[in-house]
Amino acid sequence: MLRRANELKAKEFWAARSLNVIERSPQSENANAYLLRELLKLSQGTKQEAEHDLDVTRTLKGDQGMKTRKNYSLAAISIAIVAISILFAPATTVKAFTGPAVLDDWGNRFTSLGASVPENALRTQVRTTIAQMAMFDAVNAVLDGPYRPFATKPLSVPGASPEAAAIRAAFIVALNEFPTKTATIDDAYNMSIAAVPASSEAIADGIMVGEAAANAVLAARVGDHRNDPELEGYRPGGGPGVWIPTPTAFANPQTPFLQFVTPFGYDEPTRFRPDTPPALESRTYRADYIEIKDLGRATETSRTAEQSATALFWSPSASALWSANVRSLASSMDLLTAARFEAIGIAAATNALIACWDAKYTYMFWRPVTAIHAGDTDGNPKTVLDPAWTPFIVTPSHPEYPSAHTTVGASVLRFYAAWFGTDQFPLAFKGNGGEVRSYTSIDEVLAEERNARVWGGMHWRNSTEVGTALGSKVGKYTAKHLLKPLEKR
């Protein structure tokens, strides 16, 4: 019995694999889809029956004769024959992902693909958000969800597999976003489809919906600037208050192009732009300077051990930390709910980054490490320079104002508040090194994240507060306007 089950699984695997070429053929979609369905049915038959049924599909709808036969590309027929010839190949053990695990498997796969290209993680964040939208639209269509799609709600037959739809949607987006990684993406897709716990027909139906959803989302994102040159929008400067590359790497600024990327759920990256940073002669700037010069320095500081631990806890990428938290909360939800929760939550993080980068590269405000080394040039008699000052945590390579961590954190947290209907709820959060901290309210998290950026020596206090305010606006808007429930008739 086990050997027979393995044989059937292998047949389903290779039948699904043939779809990878068949449905990407430029020929008739309907005919190729029919061929796919016939191949998937073969998982219940023998090799001889398979060859016979393939002959039948070549001449399906006999009243069309040779015209229908031409609907199949040579590549499609060839790969189908190859697939049938190995239907009895030994099955490979694959892990079946169901529910939210399907979303996480492919969402996290985008992170790996981006790192392997390699490209900046913030560019990959935008690509991942596109995949989340495609997976939501696919699942929403198959399960006939009561929500507005991001791009479209394709027609779906009853019984289609939502997991197959989500996998296919993510696969199509991955091929589009990482064209140099086709082999890796194909292999991952084949393994994922082979592990879907559904009938062959349900998988085939889900695949068709997933592809339609993905193509619509990709069409909606054409011209969104996600593929613009890395340094687009950067104009080097200098002088008091102006950002310049910082130690230790003195690297080019990180992804200035992001300021131009179209957000998810609204059109203008500048929609929530905050006011200018405080003047160098202001009391606010002076107070921030004095605070961080002590609490944010690497050595000879009054910062406590607990404050140091907090700075380190929040030190990894904000988008990575908060995207992981979104996924962790979605893990106990049903597939449709999780697909929507993840799509909106990760979009809230991405939209926050875009809004933050708009402000960063508009104002180009200097970092504490630059300012403290040049404290005698800012026109403020209360800011004493220290040319030997070093931050506790290495300064990220982009302008200071506002804080990205607090912008992203506030955006996701305001989405949580809208989703759960309260800002008082238990939240477990995994930070640097896998450490987990527990919180009971949004304000508790926000306060700690603000402090962490000051104690790390990377951000002025005012910039963390402006980031919280900016992120709160972005998160509330995203939660209210993206993937909304359909109006009841």
Task: Identify whether residues 450 and 332 lie together within a single domain.
Answer: yes
More confident residue, 16 or 131: 131
Q: What pLDDT, in 10s, does the model give residues 286-315? A: 999 999 999 999 999 999 999 999 999 999
Residue span of the structural domain in which 371 resides? 256-481
Q: What pLDDT, in 10s, does the model give residues 414-426? A: 999 999 999 999 9
Contacts of 360 (CB under 8 A, 6+ apart): 259, 398, 399, 400, 401, 402, 404
Q: CB neighbours (10 Å) of residue 264? A: 26
Q: Is 245 helix (H, G, I), strand (E, B) or coil?
A: coil
Give the per-residue pLDDT at 488: 75
Asked if the peptide bond before residue 402 counts as cis, ω within 30 degrees of 0, the response is yes
Nearest to 210 by CA among 252, 268, 149: 149
Please give the Cα distance from 280 to 42 (Å, whole number): 74
Task: Identify whether residues 130 and 69 lie together within a single domain.
Answer: no
Q: What pLDDT, in 10s, does the model give residues 272-284? A: 999 999 999 999 9
CATH number where 116 lies: 1.20.144.10
- The tally of domains found in the chain comes to 3
Give the per-residue pLDDT at 95: 66
More confident residue, 34 or 81: 34
Task: Identify whether residues 272 and 377 lie together within a single domain.
Answer: yes
Stated as kind and residue range, the H or E segment containing 347 is: helix 335-363
CATH number where 376 lies: 1.10.606.20
**Is residue 305 in some structural domain?**
yes
Task: Identify whether residues 57 and 124 lie together within a single domain.
Answer: no
**Is residue 241 in some structural domain?**
no
Instruction: With a cut of 50, say whether residue 43 has pLDDT above it.
Output: no
Task: Identify whether residues 65 and 122 lie together within a single domain.
Answer: no
Please give the Cα distance from 423 to 425 (Å, whole number): 6
Task: Identify whether residues 70 and 110 lie together within a single domain.
Answer: no
Q: Is 297 helix (H, G, I), strand (E, B) or coil?
A: strand
At residue 79 the predicted structure's pLDDT band, cuts being 50, 70 and 90, is very low
DSSP-assigned letter for residue 391: B
More confident residue, 69 or 289: 289
**Is residue 250 in some structural domain?**
no
Quickly tell me which residue has 């000052």 as its tokens: 389
Task: Identify whether residues 80 and 105 lie together within a single domain.
Answer: no
Give the per-residue pLDDT at 94: 56
Quickly tell me which residue has 């992170």 as its tokens: 111
**Is residue 419 in some structural domain?**
yes
Mean pLDDT of the region 438-461 = 98
Task: Identify whether residues 287 and 341 lie together within a single domain.
Answer: yes
Amino acid identity of 400? E
- Output b/e per residue, 158-175; b: 16+ Cβ within 10 A: eebbbbbbbbbbbbbbbb
Contacts of 233 (CB under 8 A, 6+ apart): 256, 257, 259, 260, 361
Percent of the chain with pLDDT over 70: 80
At residue 93 the predicted structure's pLDDT band, cuts being 50, 70 and 90, is low
Burial class of residue 416 (count of CB atoms within 10 Å of its CB; 0-12, 13-18, 19+): buried
Strand partners, 2: none
Tokens of 248: 């230790």
Task: Identify whether residues 162 and 290 lie together within a single domain.
Answer: no
Q: Is 379 helix (H, G, I), strand (E, B) or coil?
A: coil
Nearest to 131 by CA among 191, 193, 185: 185
Mean pLDDT of the region 117-141 = 98
Task: Identify whether residues 288 and 166 lie together within a single domain.
Answer: no
**Is residue 226 in some structural domain?**
no
Give the per-residue pLDDT at 487: 85
Amino acid identity of 179? P
Task: Identify whether residues 167 and 32 lie together within a single domain.
Answer: no
Give the per-residue pLDDT at 413: 98
Q: What is the CA radius of gyration of the chain?
A: 26
**Is residue 473 in some structural domain?**
yes
Task: Identify whether residues 151 and 280 lie together within a single domain.
Answer: no
Query: How would you write 414-471 as a 3-class SS string?
Result: HHHHHHHCCCCCCEEEECHHHCEEEECCHHHHHHHHHHHHHHCCCCCHHHHHHHHHHH
Contacts of 443 (CB under 8 A, 6+ apart): 423
Please give the Cα distance from 367 to 243 (Å, whole number): 6
Instruction: With a cut of 60, say whether residue 8 has pLDDT above it.
Output: no
**Is residue 115 in some structural domain?**
yes
**Is residue 21 in some structural domain?**
yes
Please give the Cα distance from 446 to 411 (Å, whole number): 10
Give the per-residue pLDDT at 212: 98
Instruction: With a cut of 90, say whether residue 39 has pLDDT above it.
Output: no
